[in-house]
């Protein structure tokens, strides 16, 4: 017999992963050909780390 809880859990996790991918903002943006990329902004994680470190940016 199939364990329905395990089946539901795996399908729910797959659905959450798909929703997270489709909700990303960078999937909706398309740069025109020949356009120079903007200066990369730090990720949310890096910005948070910089604030916690007292303004010192971390170079990885």
Which pTM was predicted? 0.44
Q: Please, which pLDDT band fits residue 6 given cuts at 50, 70 and 90?
A: very high
- Write down the mean pLDDT value for the chain: 80
For 11-28, write each residue's pLDDT tens digit: 999 999 999 998 887 777
- The two tokens of residue 34 are 């020949």
More confident residue, 2 or 38: 2
How high is the pLDDT of residue 9? 95
More confident residue, 56 or 32: 32
């Amino acid at each position: 017999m199939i364990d329905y809880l395990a089946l539901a859990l795996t399908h729910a996790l797959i659905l959450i992963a798909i929703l997270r991918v489709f909700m990303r903002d960078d999937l909706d943006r398309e740069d025109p050909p020949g356009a120079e990329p903007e200066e990369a902004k730090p990720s949310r994680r890096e910005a948070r780390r910089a604030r916690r470190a007292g303004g010192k940016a971390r170079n990885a």
